[in-house]
Structure 1
């Protein structure tokens, strides 16, 4: 999973992440704690979270 430049730092992804695997300070990033559940993708209003290639 990765967060692209569309991220506006709203924090919706953080609020719904069951593993608290997202950090939005400066550049938003997804940590190694991510379990690939994709819940964050569903709640991101900017659709800034994408699956890694």
Structure 2
């Protein structure tokens, strides 16, 4: 049961990450003038940057 709960939490994290990546891609596409620094800042603001 513990294993199942862990897996569920992992899946939730993955889907949240995928949503964040999608949002960042949309933002990057709509503002293609963004530099890599801007994208990194977006990632950090979204809380997806590895600590």
TM-score by length of 2: 0.32
Which of 1 and 2 has greater Rg? 2
Structure whose residues are more often helix by fraction: 2
- Which structure carries more relative contact order (alpha carbon 8 Å, separation 6+)? 1
